Structure formats: C-alpha cells, structure tokens
Amino acid sequence: MHTNESAENYLETILILSQKLPVVRSVDIATELDFKKSSVSVAMKKLRENDHIVVSPEGYITLTPSGKEIADRIYERHTLLSSWLERLGVDSEIAAEDACRIEHVISSESFEAIKKHIK
C-alpha cells in the first residue's frame, strides 16, 4: 500500500477533521490546509479513484478502510514524533513541522523502534 506524501497529508487531514466536524467537505479541507478548493478537488478525485475515500452526493467525504488505515498510521506517527520532540526540548511548532516531514519518510522498522523506546 504505497501512497505519496501529499495523499497521506490529505488522508490525515480528513481523519482529523472528521473528529472535529459532523461532516467533512472539500471546502473544509481547503480551509484547514490553506489550499485552493480546485487543488483539493483534484486530490479528492485521485483519492476516490484509489479507493481511499468515498464522496456522497451531498459532497461529504469519508475514509474507506484503506484510507483510514493510512490516515491512522500517519496520524500516530505525527502525534508520537511531535510529542517526543517536544519532550526533548524542541519548540512545539517546530516539533509539529518536523514530525510532519519525518512521518512520511521514516521506515516502519525505525518508527516501531522509536515507539518501543519511548514507551
């Protein structure tokens, strides 16, 4: 299950928004990420074609099981890495930015080792 960084960011954003909002729409994603709605629409089409999301006739976006699996994995990496960096003394904004970059490139093996070490 290989996805690119952009797709992972969109899926993670959908997951986060779905925890805060009753429904998630493209405009919500565009607002959250500060992207143009047209860019989000193109990305949603790709995620739909790859069976990572479903879009209702009303425009409500939900994660499919594969989309949720990817989003959960990326979100876990983000939260664990950013909190770990903060505990090491890194400013919270910098920790969140760095975690966002690291979460996409770190191997499963390395992440599991860090997770085991932290906990």
> Model-level pTM greater than 0.85?
yes
Chain position carrying tokens 């080792």: 113
Examine the fold and report which residue of 36, 64, 92 is the final residue of a domain before the chain moves on. 64
Tell me: do 19 and 56 sit in the same domain: yes
Task: Please state, in angstroms and rounded to a whole number, the distance separating the CA atoms of residues 81 and 69.
Answer: 18
Task: Let me know if 52 is exposed, middle or buried by CB neighbors in 10 A (0-12, 13-18, 19+).
Answer: buried
pLDDT digits (tens, 9 = 90+) for 39-63: 999 999 999 999 999 999 999 999 9
**28 and 56 fall within a common domain:** yes
Retrieve residue 91's tokens: 């400013």
**How many domains is the chain partitioned into structurally?**
2
pLDDT above 70: percentage of residues in the chain:
98
Is residue 73 within a helix (H) or strand (E), and if so which, with residue range? helix 65-87
CATH number for the domain that contains residue 14: 1.10.10.10
CA distances from 118 to 106, 113, 115 (A): 16, 9, 5
CATH number for 80? 1.10.60.10
Render pLDDT for 94-118 as a digit per residue (tens, 0 to 9). 999 999 999 999 999 999 999 999 8
Range of the domain at 23: 5-64
